[in-house]
Chains A and B, each alone.
Chain A
Amino acid sequence: MEPSAEAEFTRFVTERGASLLRIGYALTGSRAAAEDLVQTALAKTALKWRRLDRRGVDAYVRQVMYHEHVSWWRRLRNRRETTVPELPETALPDGTDATALRLVLTEALRRLPPRQRAVIVLRYLEDLSEHQVAERLGCSTGTVASQASRALTKLRTAMEGVA
């Protein structure tokens, strides 16, 4: 990459890094995994930097992040899917109900299979429609709907244990 392009890329990462990391964090549930995911997506973006329209770079990085995340899930599924049908009891810290709910929900989100978590993040953090989520993840709207439904059921179940 030419020095001027590197400077431009670094500026982009400085401006958008925190936002991308938040999505990565919501997707993976772990700061370290989020950094790995964002870094990998940025590395792949850097490879195509010369050809990318600058107005669409942010969307492109997020697209790569979702694909990377779901690809990881597919590889995992081929070996052995590790879903947790019943959430274990979680000890709640003292504090307000809302804080407790968020903590439980955070834990429940972490336990979702990656694809279900991706659907939830796209729907409720990025505010995309089912159709747009399907486009991003390369699956049918029916799959998005069923994945969202399963995920929401798990999250609600986790919350009912607190409320």
Chain B
Amino acid sequence: MSRDNDREFEIVLRETLEGFDGTQPPVELASRALGQSRRIRRARRLATGAALLAAVAACVVPYKLMQEMKAPQQRPAATSQATSLPGPALSPGTGPQLDRFQIEDGAWEIGGWRAAGWSSDDPAQNSIVYLPAEKSYLRVPYMGARRSPAGSEIAVYGSGARPGELSGFLDPATSQVRWMSSTALMDATWSPDGKRLLVSSLRGPTGTFSIVDPVTLESRQFKVTVPCARLCRFFWHPNGRDVVVTATTPSREPLGIDVFPTDQGPEPKAKTRLPVKAYVEDGTAWSPDGKYVVANSEPDGKPMVYEVATGSPVAAVPGQKALTTYWIDNATYLTFSRNDDGHGRYTAHRVDGTPTGLSKVLPAEFAWLSPVPLEKAG
């Protein structure tokens, strides 16, 4: 087909697609959608309730059976030797069922980073967390789960189907969760030292973020007055003390990356604006020496490596989901992509975007999950 024919074909195709029109939505579309959302919510609650009942039954039934077995032995009987059978530990605070599994030599690793787990963001699916002390992965029945880089405590969030159980901290040793009363940990990220969590509030034209202390469960809220990009997502500065956000004009043109202190009251002023006019979207986007940062050059993509001091773009970042970057050293980073068969992999690139040759497909357990977050190994 000639170029003219190609052009003509494209025009007809576009007209045809535009022509899927002339149909006004039914007037009750919104109310039907709202009704369906209520049904989904009810179904989720029922499913959670059923799972809870099953879990309780799984605990109570053997206990009852043992009690019944024990009962005749406790009756005074001349022919029976009384023996005490220990019952299962059952308390009102019994935690969730946690399922451990292992892969390879304990964890999947590349370039000093290992698969940290995965947050399903789906009430019907478990999330996964790596436990270094046990060299195993843990399935937890929550929509999100991220372990502290400094210890074993896991920040979890659920669907809110059970009152009071939206966000909290899970101790994998005891299966107990300390639930928080207010702050949702949906987009929480641990500070590099694992002592605090940063939570972005995605509402409003300007940004609000909270810092949560996992020991006291206290949450401090901060409000900044600079318009911020799209979802106003805040990330830890590599120094682990400050937080950053891409500041934009009201029309969402990036102005630079603002750095906010977290020790100067609830309405901090930016202590500096880095000249990188791009959308930073990941706390791991910074090279270890702070010289480079990976950020989207356009609102919806085209990630580039930028020199932080000058804001100059250095090179495009190859691969899809490329904002999911982890720096191996000051000159090499890993990016997530997918093979043609859909399996995820991480590949190492130099700052100029050329591959180093280091590349590894994720294990079967993680192959289909959307970018699997990594954490420092060792």
Residues of A within 8 A of B (CB): 1, 6, 9-10, 12-14, 17-18, 20-22, 25-26, 31, 34-35, 38-40, 42-47, 51-53, 55-56, 98, 101-102, 105-106, 109, 120-121, 124-125, 131-132, 134-135, 138-143, 152, 155-156, 159
Contact = CB atoms under 8 A, between A and B. Distances in A.
Given A26-B20, A55-B230, A156 B1 contact: yes
Given A13-B25, A140-B339, A47 B9 contact: no
B24 A135 contact: no
A47 B29 contact: no
A163 B289 CA distance: 62
A38 B20 contact: no
A46 B12 CA distance: 36
A17 B25 contact: yes
Given A13-B29, A135-B301, A141-B320, 11 more contacts: A10-B34, A18-B23, A18-B24, A42-B37, A55-B252, A106-B19, A120-B17, A121-B17, A138-B338, A140-B338, A140-B339
Contact of B21 (A1, A22, A52): A22
A51 B232 contact: no
B340 interface: yes
Given A18-B24, A135-B321, A139-B342, A51 B34 contact: no
B33 A134 contact: no
B202 A52 contact: yes
B340 A143 contact: yes
Contacts of A9: 30, 33-34
Contacts of B16: 102, 105-106, 109
A132 B31 CA distance: 32
Contacts of B75: none
Nearest to B21: A22
A44 B40 contact: yes
A124 B14 contact: yes
A106 to B, nearest CB: 6
B64 interface: no
B29 A35 contact: yes
Interface of B: 1, 9-10, 12-21, 23-26, 29-37, 39-41, 184, 186, 202-203, 230-232, 252, 300-301, 320-321, 337-340, 342, 370
A132 B15 CA distance: 22
A143 B343 CA distance: 12
B35 to A, nearest CB: 8
Contacts of B370: 138
9 contacts: A9-B34, A17-B25, A40-B36, A42-B37, A43-B33, A105-B16, A106-B16, A106-B20, A140-B339
B13 A155 contact: yes
B34 A43 contact: yes
A44 B37 contact: yes
A120 B13 CA distance: 9
A6 B12 contact: no
Given A18-B25, A55-B230, A139-B342, A46 B14 contact: no
Contacts of A98: 12, 15
B42 to A, nearest CB: 11
Contacts of A44: 37, 40
A43 B36 contact: yes
Nearest to B232: A53
A135 B320 contact: yes
Contacts of A35: 25-26, 29
Contacts of B31: 10
A56 B33 contact: no
Contact of B203 (A1, A53, A139): A53
